């Protein structure tokens, strides 16, 4: 893992580290995702290095070295403010906790490739060109690819395949099931049948993974810059029956196409809301509308949502419920108050695929409200300080009075502070 926002600088630094290790007589290669992304024509900002040098030997070769997992052979090397993860080739022991190996044995590059999760993540690259390329595969950014698991062929066919026995890989680390879905969605790849079958077989075991890690994987899937990738991620989670243990719900087979229609900048809460709306058919008109709070409480626990994420999700679902309940029939003040809420625009985007005529009507009405000379969310003519200056004491009627005055303003019956103050005196008696 190289920490830098400049991909060219990061690669240059990682290459310097590889050369230093090789000049000292050790084997050293780029490893994992950075190799995959280079072969896909991307420009990685993260570079990992795998080497035959053990941590004590790495420490003698570089000035700035920090231990992050020396028992597992992992060190951080910093050069010119860029930090690169350098790990010793290893073979993993048993995964008792189904998340990480109990111990490791330092080994060689071939053995190291065999312990990795998916073939496209088990590729190595020698940026110096000193190691012959396997099957003549080279990186467009320079360097020879070393491939012990046919990862380059899977990359070319756009396939996610477990290294070796899929059941064994999934049994070692249950989080790999979610990672497979994330990689397939992000890259637009297909999960090959044996790997997909193993994921379904082990799906129920995902419940043993920490909620924090599950939440982070789902969050990464549903915040991909491309909405179509988010939709594919949701569809994969459902198709692989990972949705039930991830969300704490029963498995669904609902469409996810509406997620793909969301604006590119839709935040995590908005995308998650769109998925839940699909799964629970919240777009179907019913009376009364279901209270979103129990669902939000359950999802928060399942995905370890932050307080801000929980509140944002509730906000979108509540606004969606109001749109479905007849926002267009509200009085002007009510329409403006709801339209000014943080989740309203996201809720409207969630409504569009299911109730396009209603969504279009809402947008038409929003345009009218926004051009009425008052605006949807104008600054209040009077506030709490104004009432205190008039001699009012903060209390139960304080907020009620401010709300009534603001409604009058939103509907155009108050257009100056003087008018508002006079009305406050009348109503406050």
DSSP string, 46-68: --EEEESS-HHHHHHH-SEEEEE
Domains of the chain: 1-154 (3.30.460.10), 158-231 (1.10.110.30), 268-370 (no CATH), 384-427 (no CATH)
Contacts of 31 (CB under 8 A, 6+ apart): 48, 49, 50, 87, 112, 123, 124, 125
Residue among 52, 123, 45, 44 nearest 87 (CA): 52
Q: Where are the alpha helices (DSSP H) in 222-267?
A: 227-239, 243-247, 257-260
Is the omega angle on the peptide bond into residue 288 within 30 degrees of 0, that is, cis? yes
Residue 429 confidence (pLDDT): 54
Residue 393 confidence (pLDDT): 79
Task: Write out the H or E segment, with its range, that includes residue 398.
Answer: helix 396-410
Q: Which two tokens stand for residue 258?
A: 């509406």
Residue 76 confidence (pLDDT): 96
Q: Which two tokens stand for residue 81?
A: 């403010």
Q: Which two tokens stand for residue 304?
A: 């370890």
The span from the CA of 44 to the CA of 343, in Å, is 34
The span from the CA of 110 to the CA of 406, in Å, is 71
Q: Which two tokens stand for residue 300?
A: 């928060």
- Using an 8 Å Cβ cutoff, are 214 and 303 in contact? yes
Residue among 233, 244, 309, 231 nearest 274 (CA): 231
Residue 358 confidence (pLDDT): 94
Residue among 162, 246, 241 nearest 201 (CA): 241
- Using an 8 Å Cβ cutoff, are 128 and 19 in contact? yes
Contacts of 45 (CB under 8 A, 6+ apart): 2, 4, 5, 6, 7, 10
Beta-carbon count within 10 A of 178 CB: 27
Residue 389 confidence (pLDDT): 85
Write the pLDDT tens digit of every residue in 101-157.
676 789 999 999 999 999 999 999 999 999 999 999 999 999 999 999 999 999 999
DSSP state of 15: H
Residues in the chain predicted with pLDDT less than 50, given as ranges, are: none
Beta-carbon count within 10 A of 187 CB: 19
Quote the pTM value.
0.90
């Amino acid at each position: 893992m190289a920490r830098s926002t400049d991909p060219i600088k990061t690669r240059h630094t990682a290459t310097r580290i590889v050369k230093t290790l090789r000049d000292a007589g050790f084997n050293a290669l780029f490893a994992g995702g950075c190799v995959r992304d280079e072969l896909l024509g991307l420009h990685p900002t993260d570079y990992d290095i795998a080497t035959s040098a053990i941590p004590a030997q790495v420490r003698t070769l570089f000035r700035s070295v920090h231990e992050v997992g020396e028992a597992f052979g992992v060190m951080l090397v910093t050069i010119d403010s860029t930090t690169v993860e350098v790990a010793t080739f290893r073979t993993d022991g048993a995964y008792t906790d189904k998340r990480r190996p109990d111990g490791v044995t330092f080994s060689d590059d071939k053995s190291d490739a065999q312990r990795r999760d998916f073939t496209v993540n088990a590729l190595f690259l020698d940026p110096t060109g000193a190691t012959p390329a396997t099957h003549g595969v080279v990186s467009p950014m320079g360097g020879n690819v070393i491939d012990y698991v046919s990862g380059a062929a899977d990359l070319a066919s756009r396939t996610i395949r477990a290294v070796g026995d899929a059941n064994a890989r999934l049994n070692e680390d249950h989080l790999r099931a979610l990672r497979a879905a994330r990689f397939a969605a992000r890259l637009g790849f297909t999960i090959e049948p044996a790997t997909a079958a193993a994921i379904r077989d082990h799906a129920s075991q995902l419940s043993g993974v920490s909620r924090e890690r599950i939440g982070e994987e789902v969050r990464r899937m549903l915040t991909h810059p491309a909405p179509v990738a988010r939709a594919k991620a949701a569809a994969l989670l459902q198709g692989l029956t990972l949705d039930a243990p991830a969300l704490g719900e029963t498995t669904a087979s609902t469409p996810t196409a509406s997620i793909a229609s969301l604006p590119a900048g839709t935040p995590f809460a908005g995308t998650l809301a769109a998925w839940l709306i699909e799964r629970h058919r919240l777009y179907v008109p019913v009376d009364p509308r279901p209270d979103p709070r129990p669902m939000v409480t359950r999802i928060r626990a399942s995905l370890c949502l932050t307080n801000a994420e929980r509140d944002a999700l509730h906000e979108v679902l509540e606004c969606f419920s109001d749109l479905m309940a007849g926002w267009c029939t509200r009085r002007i003040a009510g329409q403006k108050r709801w339209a000014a809420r943080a989740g309203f625009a996201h809720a409207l985007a969630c409504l569009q695929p299911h109730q396009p005529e209603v969504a279009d009507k809402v947008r038409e009405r929003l345009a009218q409200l926004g051009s009425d000379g008052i605006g949807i969310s104008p600054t209040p003519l009077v506030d709490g300080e104004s009432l205190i200056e008039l001699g009012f004491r903060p209390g139960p009627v304080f907020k009620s009075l401010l709300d009534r005055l603001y409604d009058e303003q939103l509907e155009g019956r108050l257009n100056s502070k003087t008018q508002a103050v006079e009305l406050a005196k009348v109503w406050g008696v």
